[in-house]
Every structure is written in structure tokens, then in C-alpha cells.
Amino acid sequence: MSTQSNMIKVAVVGGEGIGPEVTAQSRRVLDWFAAKRNVPMTLREAQYGLIPYLATGKVLPEDTAEAMDEADAILWGATGGPETTEVPAAARKAGSLLGLRSKYDLYANLRPIMASPALSASAPLKAEVLEGVDFVIIRELTSGIYFGEPRGIETLPDGQRRGFNTEQYTTNQIRRVARSAFELARTRRNKVCSVDKANVLETSVVWREEVIALHKEEFSDVELTHLYVDNAAMQIVREPRQFDVMVTGNIFGDILSDCAAMASGSLGMLPSASLGPVDRFGRRKALYEPVHGSAPDIAGNGVANPLGSILSVAMLLRLTLNRPADADLLERAVQTALASGARTADIAEAGAKRLSTVQMGDAVLNALDKISAKEHA
């Protein structure tokens, strides 16, 4: 990678399943912004998963680890699929995405949920429910039940097996992700909804009390409300437009953000950004990825929706490169492509032509060219 201080370093890691297919289209978009908008970045491709494992014995080989360590931002594709059976569990765990989140302390996961009017005919929810939907779920990403100890599987004296995991949160873990939510809300509609299960879980009691205390101390100008997670799931599909910024713990955020995909038309439409703490130079490590998984059932067929990955590039432009105008341009290009009828199979209404992954990438790039040409006409 370039050592120029003004160049942002981006590691592009396609991963497994449909990951390389969708990330290839994101890479084309990044190349467009580098060439046409002079965005100061250097890109380094790196491999993850079965292919490097067969060559090196590691799903996360040394050169990939080096690329990600050096990078300011990581553009990630997907992990998992049938090939995981070919990789021993220990090797898989050693290079897991959970491990990367912990290594880089990517504690704040931002998942924007925005309904596209062009997709109202194919969306699972009614058009009137989706009108005006624009909110962000901030999920705490490096603590909670996915990381808590003790955990494991044991055999009891009577021969039964027991699996156990530990849900836990500390004051600092709660406050730093809540602070991210309040700060983001100040740039939007100034509303935060904190989601927990404080009527049942002690962890959630602490969560709610710490969010309330931080709000009182530093963010009393922001409107704060609370929902139990079961009610939050219902409200997301009942009246999603009521939300601005929603903040919640790791497992609740995992579930609710997939539920919220129904308010955007498809899981394939959702981008995400996982952010670490700000360092002394004002930078923060970030990993950008589509919310969807590896989708092994369609991997290799060239039909996956690349828009979640492409919209993750928009988040990269906005949050790491500090290029909000370029991020807006890319988001407009995606909406322009959709408005023109561009559809992959997951978002196609009955009778609509279905584009391949590459063709959807073409549609976005064509829209970028047209919009950019008009701006400079």
C-alpha cells in the first residue's frame, strides 16, 4: 500500500460464498471514485476462507492479516457456507469475524434502514408502512452474549447435555455505544430509542440505567425513549417510520436489524459499518460489509444482489474518507438504478427482468456516470 499520509488504505476482502461476487462490484465502484472523483485511497485485495486455508492452513493468512492491520478501512464480503465443513473448527475460530471485531475493538455497528420507493411493489411490507422510513440501528458489537464467559457445552451427571452462554455488560461497554447513538441522533432527527429486556434480564436493567444516566449527564437535548426488544420487533414492522436512531445490545441488534430488512425491501439491500474507538490522530478503524451472509445456495450463480455491499461503500466514503458529497452521489446512483427498473432476483416484482450481479453493478456505474455528467454540464 502507499505510505502517503493523505491516502486512506482500504483492504478489500471478499471472503466466502457470494462475498467475492458482491465485493467485486463494490471494488468497481471504489475504482470509479478513485478515477473520476480523485478520492485519495489505495486498495489492497486479500483472501479469506477456504481457498487460503487449503494453501496455508489458515482461513486468515498472514498477508490478509497484514493488509487488514495496515488498513484504515476493511471492505468485507461474507463468511461461512458449506465449505466450513472442510475447515476444522479450530482453524475457523482462529480467523473468525467475531475475532476480528474483538481484535480491532469494532464496538459500534451502524445499520441504516431506508425504504426505497422504487421497491414498494416487491417489499414484504405495505407501501404506506414504508413511506418515509429512514432510521439507523446501532448494535453493540464486541460484548454481550456472543463474547461472554463462561460458555460451552457439557454433559451433566444424569447424561443430559447442557449448552450455556453468558450475557454481560459493563458500564463502559454500554456508555460508549450509547454515546455513539446520541451523537449520531444530533446529526439526524435528535431521537434515540434504547432497546433492552429490563423486565426480565439484569443485564438489561444495568443497560437501561446506564443509558438514562448518560442521557441526563451529556445528552439531555436528545429525545430518549425505551422499548422492550419484543415490542421493538413488532414496532419495526408495524410503524418503522417512528424511529430515528435505535441502540441495543449485541444479540438484540443482530436479530432486530435482520427484521428491519423487511423495511428496506430485502436483506440484500442493507449495508453496515462497524467502528472502533477514535485514536489520537482522529481516525478510527472501520469494517464495512453488507448485512447479508454468504448465501451458499446461490453462490457462484452470479445472481446475488450487490447493493448492500455497494451501499457499504457509501458508508465508507462518508465515515472513513469524510466525503459526504461522494457518499450522497453513490446513494443517489443506487436509487436512480432502482428507479430505472434495475432488479436482482431478491428485489424483483413479478414479471420484472432480473439482472445478474455484474449487470446490477453496471446499472449503478452507469447511473454514476450520468449523474456526474449532469453535475459538470
Would you name the residues annotated as active-site residues? Answer: 146, 197, 230, 254, 258
CB atoms within 10 A of CB 165: 14
| Contact between residue 48 and residue 79 where contact means Cβ atoms under 8 Å apart | yes
Q: Which residue has the cell 454481560?
A: 168
The three cell numbers of residue 68 are: 487488514
Distances in Å between the alpha carbon of 113 and those of 5, 133, 138, 280?
A: 34, 7, 11, 31
Nearest to 155 by CA among 168, 146, 164: 164
Grid cell, residue 107, equals 464496538
Lookup: cell for 213: 444516566
Residue 260: how many CB atoms within 10 A of its CB? 27
Distance of CA 235 to the CA centre of its chain: 21
Return the C-alpha cell found at 177: 455505544
Nearest to 256 by CA among 270, 273, 276, 274: 270
- Phi-psi domain of 336 (left: phi exceeds 0; alpha: psi -120 through 50; beta: other): alpha
Q: State which H helix or E strand residue 357 sits in.
A: helix 357-375
Strand partners, 76: 13
Residue partners of 108: CB distance under 8 A and separation at least 6? 138, 139, 140, 141, 176, 177, 180, 274, 275
The C-alpha cell at 342 is 434495475
CB contact set of 375 (below 8 Å; sequence gap of 6+):
none
Cell of 208: 437501561
Which residues, in sequence order, are bridge partners of residue 113?
Answer: 135
Q: Give the contacts of 84 (CB within 8 A, at least 6 positions apart).
A: 92
